[in-house]
């Protein structure tokens, strides 16, 4: 089994937020982007994720013990607060160190990046921890993830600091909501059994998937406008998002049977990691002045 610290912070699951962050980095990067800022930004990102996932494991300790290993990056019943390999006190201590590192390095990037990382860490906290524990509140669970993805995108953009497009940012927020919905529908049986009132449990899987189709229509409209009105790299990005969202929606629809959705985590994880790597390479090529944009 993986190290208890890996099971504590769940790096594979970070990929979900790495994608908007790397898209932002790729699009925002420029010839004069400070390379130290990229390293500082990555440390801030990793520590933010570590903080958010430790708190999530801690607050989910009593429900994760019933997890059967399905549809996740790991079998959550093996997370170290469930197995007792890491004490709550030690976990909280590592979380505290993580948030301090995250904000300290964010401070070294720029003011906007720092402000966004304060917000990102607050979202990580209120999503999992009482009294808010938004992961168990209908709509709030979706909004937290969508907002965290949008914040990650803007933070990524702010590293290089160019090419911010409001419509593209709004599109990212809605796209993140659309990608989050099937995951919460997949968790439906488990969340219902353990008494968590997520959006899927509250509205029912069918209704929440209907909301997803409506939002997909909004996404297609937004990215079509971005495609028609912006430069080459935003055009390509819009096209990628349109095509992948459509494939994802159709795949989710095919897999939805008898009011249940059993979607393997790899439908998200594999394309997300490939796209993240692609955008990082693209950003570095721009910084090295090997690619120009028009």
Taking CB under 5 A as the criterion, which residues in 52-71 touch Mg ion?
56, 60
Q: Binding partner of residue 182 among Mg ion, ligand GPP, none, CB under 5 to 8 Å per kind?
A: none
Q: Closest Cα partner for 37 from 129, 215, 150, 157?
A: 157
What is the rounded distance in angstroms from the CA atom of residue 23 to the CA atom of residue 237? 8
Report if residue 144 touches ligand GPP, rule: CB under 6 A.
Answer: yes
Report if residue 14 touches ligand GPP, rule: CB under 6 A.
Answer: no
Least gap, CB of 16 to ligand GPP (angstroms): 7
What is the rounded distance in angstroms from the CA atom of residue 224 to the CA atom of residue 37? 33
Q: Binding partner of residue 79 among Mg ion, ligand GPP, none, CB under 5 to 8 Å per kind?
A: none
Q: Binding partner of residue 72 among Mg ion, ligand GPP, none, CB under 5 to 8 Å per kind?
A: ligand GPP
Phi-psi map region of 259: left, alpha, beta (phi>0 left; psi -120 to 50 alpha): left
User: Smaller CB distance to Mg ion: residue 60 or 237?
Assistant: 60
Least gap, CB of 148 to Mg ion (angstroms): 14
Tokens at 136, concatenated: 């168990």
Q: Binding partner of residue 124 among Mg ion, ligand GPP, none, CB under 5 to 8 Å per kind?
A: ligand GPP
> Please, are residues 18 and 276 in contact by the beta-carbon 8 Å criterion?
yes
What is the rounded distance in angstroms from the CA atom of residue 25 to the CA atom of residue 154? 9
Report if residue 33 touches Mg ion, rule: CB under 5 A.
Answer: no
Q: Binding partner of residue 37 among Mg ion, ligand GPP, none, CB under 5 to 8 Å per kind?
A: none
User: Smaller CB distance to ligand GPP: residue 133 or 255?
Assistant: 133
Q: Which one of residues 7, 135, 137, 286 is an interface residue with ligand GPP (CB under 6 A)?
A: 135
> Please, are residues 156 and 186 in contact by the beta-carbon 8 Å criterion?
no
Q: Which one of residues 56, 158, 163, 172 is an interface residue with ligand GPP (CB under 6 A)?
A: 56
User: Smaller CB distance to ligand GPP: residue 157 or 234?
Assistant: 157
Residues that bind Mg ion (CB under 5 A): 56, 60
List contacts with ligand GPP (CB under 6 A). Answer: 52-53, 56, 60, 72, 76, 123-124, 127, 135, 144-145, 148
């Amino acid at each position: 089994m993986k190290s208890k610290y890996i099971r504590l912070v769940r790096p594979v699951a970070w990929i979900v937020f790495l994608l908007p962050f790397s898209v932002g980095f790729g699009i925002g990067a420029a010839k004069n982007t400070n390379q130290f800022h990229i390293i500082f930004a990555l440390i801030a990102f990793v520590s933010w994720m570590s903080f958010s996932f430790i708190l999530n494991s801690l607050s989910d300790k009593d429900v994760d013990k019933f997890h059967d290993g399905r549809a996740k990056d790991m079998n959550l019943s093996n997370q170290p607060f469930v197995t007792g390999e890491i004490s709550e006190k030690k976990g909280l201590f590592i979380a505290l160190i993580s948030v301090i590192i995250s904000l300290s390095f964010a401070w070294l990037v720029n003011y906007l990046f720092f402000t966004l990382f304060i917000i990102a860490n607050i979202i990580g906290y209120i999503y999992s921890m009482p009294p808010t524990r938004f992961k168990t509140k209908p709509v709030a669970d979706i909004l937290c993830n969508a907002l965290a993805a949008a914040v990650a995108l803007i933070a990524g953009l702010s590293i290089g600091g160019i090419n911010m497009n409001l419509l593209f940012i709004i599109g990212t927020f809605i796209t993140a909501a659309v990608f989050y919905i099937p995951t919460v529908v997949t968790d439906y049986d488990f969340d219902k059994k353990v008494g968590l009132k997520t959006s899927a449990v509250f509205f029912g899987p069918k209704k929440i998937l209907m909301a997803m189709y409506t939002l997909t229509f909004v996404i297609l409209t937004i990215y079509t406008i971005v495609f028609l009105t912006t430069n080459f790299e935003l055009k390509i990005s819009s096209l990628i998002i349109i095509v992948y969202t459509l494939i994802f929606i159709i795949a989710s629809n095919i897999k939805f049977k008898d009011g249940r959705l059993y979607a393997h985590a790899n439908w998200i994880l594999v394309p997300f990691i490939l796209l993240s790597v692609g955008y990082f390479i693209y950003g570095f090529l721009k910084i090295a002045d090997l690619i120009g944009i028009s």
